[in-house]
Chains A and B, each alone.
Chain A
């Protein structure tokens, strides 16, 4: 069998540049949205001619109007803000806590490893979405006393919880294989302390894998947030998020108003796709194997 010559694994390819451009523009738009004049207030009821999905996509309403005459485009952009904030916030917590647990389990092994593994098994044996609706649904009752606990916070807490176990698994596997390597042995035989080995030898080598995991993780979390929002367990009305827009506007899909559902769905898909592409390119660039997925 003739084998095609192996192409170099560059990080920047057409795909990853397009993906970065897409994510960049979404991020910039959603951050600048409040100050840009051309983006309407997403919660203000639209003019009467736009009520009941009267206006389709066009110059006036780029993505059409919804039931209350609001601008679907601006709701998508403000929804992006929520989706990104929630997903990024939870991945940071997931990386910190999951990374810490994974390092401990992988380096110390023995009893610590077994204890952490039971904890991770508990988290993993629970179907993600079910854990999420259960916790978010019940946190609502607590939120009556704790006013800071808005839905955005509850969702971030739950998604952080969900991201811990997969990240910890991957970090543990990487740590296990790294701690067998020669440079760790060298450091150990030079008399370096445990914490120095973990901090100076192992941790820096984990960074590429963690960056790659962070990107694919954000993609997974955005899907989860979309699912939660669709089921009514994410931000409360009138705040929008992509999953919620799909849920809100889907009944009218067959009455000609295809835009209310299609555009948020498209944006969700493209964003998830972009995060996956970048994570994947990164993994190839640094030759990370999907060992512990």
Chain B
């Protein structure tokens, strides 16, 4: 319990530092934050309205006053975030909350399907390669996963968009958001290629990881015991061995989260997915400060929460780890 609390406290600290740094960057890289917030070239009336709406946003100056000045703004912003007021994007004439409602589902499904595709690729390949280790198929699969790991998402996107999407009518060239419960087929058509762009690399990483882990697991005593008891080989492999190897896979899912988000930005841009990454690139171009801060805060929060979650889950699933930590 104490372990869990210190872990959570540390991640809260990290979260605060990161969001503060983002705020600092949006302020340093700007001549007039209020004008940026208002959306560039606007009239005086609009500027006054923005000043009224967000009185705490102001330009900072001075060598020693700079950081305290931004810190003061951070407190106001944090208070707003906690009370559910995420701010406004004047440039897009919508509140940041509305923006999330519009954009978040696309990014969510992109990431979700990418992870599913990654697992669909990784689990059979990893298990099979460990079982038939150094066989000819294992060698080919290893080479294949190695090539996929080295494949930049950008290159894979080129391949999929121009090699597949534009040759077959089936896949649209630009992805639109269609909820799966509205039209599952259209949803699949729209999201398959961008998700595959992200999922293939994940699958390659995970299959290597799973292979290495399974090879170790298959040598352990409890597997021999299960075999000796006469449990069917398939069951030994897929139930007994896979279960204990799944742990490292779970950790890797968490570790890959931030890579997944980075990849999503490229994939969204390439396939025109109307998601958060796409919006973030726009927001950075115009220094739409509240949108930048809110999107990065949410992304970092997701990454951090997944990591803490996995960390805590880990010690629940595998008591050995809990014990190891208790000892030192």
B262 and A125 contacting across the interface, CB-CB below 8 Å: no
Q: Which of A125, A128, A227 contacts B153 (CB 8 A)?
A: A227
Measured between C-beta atoms, what is the minimum distance from A109 to chain B in Å? 12
Question: Chain B residues near A226 (CB, 8 Å)?
Answer: 152, 154
CA distance A129 to B262 in the complex (A): 5
B166 within 8 A of A: yes
Q: Which of B247-294 contact A (CB under 8 A)?
A: 255, 258-259, 261-263, 265-266, 269-270, 277, 280-281, 284-285, 287, 292
When A126-B18, A126-B258, A258-B162 are in contact, do A227 and B284 touch as well, CB less than 8 Å? no
Interface residues of A (CB under 8 A from B): 3-4, 118, 121-122, 124-130, 133-135, 137-142, 219, 222-224, 226-227, 230-231, 243, 246, 250, 253-254, 258, 261-262, 265-266, 268-269, 272-273, 276-277, 280, 293
CA distance A213 to B147 in the complex (A): 18
B245 within 8 A of A: no
When A223-B152, A231-B281, A243-B154 are in contact, do A273 and B261 touch as well, CB less than 8 Å? no
B158 and A127 contacting across the interface, CB-CB below 8 Å: no
Measured between C-beta atoms, what is the minimum distance from B60 to chain A in Å? 14
B89 within 8 A of A: no
For A262, the closest partner residue in chain B by CB is: B158
Interface residues of B (CB under 8 A from A): 10-11, 13-15, 17-18, 21-22, 25-26, 28-31, 134, 146-147, 149-155, 158-159, 162, 166, 255, 258-259, 261-263, 265-266, 269-270, 277, 280-281, 284-285, 287, 292, 296, 299-300, 303-304, 307
B300 and A231 contacting across the interface, CB-CB below 8 Å: no
Measured between C-beta atoms, what is the minimum distance from B35 to chain A in Å? 12
Question: Chain A residues near B154 (CB, 8 Å)?
Answer: 223, 226-227, 230, 243, 246, 265, 268
For B16, the closest partner residue in chain A by CB is: A122
B149 and A276 contacting across the interface, CB-CB below 8 Å: yes
When A122-B14, A125-B307, A227-B154 are in contact, do A134 and B28 touch as well, CB less than 8 Å? no
Question: Chain A residues near B31 (CB, 8 Å)?
Answer: 141
CA distance A90 to B114 in the complex (A): 30
Question: Chain A residues near B303 (CB, 8 Å)?
Answer: 125, 127
9 A-B pairs besides A127-B259, A129-B266 with CB distance below 8 A are: A127-B265, A128-B262, A135-B25, A137-B284, A138-B284, A268-B152, A273-B150, A280-B146, A293-B255
A254 and B269 contacting across the interface, CB-CB below 8 Å: no
Measured between C-beta atoms, what is the minimum distance from B88 to chain A in Å? 20
Give the tally of cross-chain contacts (CB within 8 A). Answer: 138
Question: Chain A residues near B18 (CB, 8 Å)?
Answer: 122, 125-126
CA distance A141 to B31 in the complex (A): 8
B152 and A138 contacting across the interface, CB-CB below 8 Å: no
CA distance A137 to B300 in the complex (A): 19
Question: Chain B residues near A140 (CB, 8 Å)?
Answer: 29
Question: Chain B residues near A253 (CB, 8 Å)?
Answer: 158, 162, 166
A134 and B22 contacting across the interface, CB-CB below 8 Å: yes
Question: Chain B residues near A258 (CB, 8 Å)?
Answer: 162
Question: Chain A residues near B158 (CB, 8 Å)?
Answer: 246, 250, 253, 261-262, 265
Q: Which of A118, A127, A231 contacts B258 (CB 8 A)?
A: A127
Q: Which of A4, A134, A258 has the most CB of B within 10 A?
A: A134
For B159, the closest partner residue in chain A by CB is: A265
Measured between C-beta atoms, what is the minimum distance from A149 to chain B in Å? 12
B14 and A118 contacting across the interface, CB-CB below 8 Å: yes
Question: Chain B residues near A134 (CB, 8 Å)?
Answer: 22, 25-26, 284, 292, 296
B265 and A231 contacting across the interface, CB-CB below 8 Å: yes
For B24, the closest partner residue in chain A by CB is: A138
Question: Chain B residues near A272 (CB, 8 Å)?
Answer: 150-152
For B205, the closest partner residue in chain A by CB is: A293
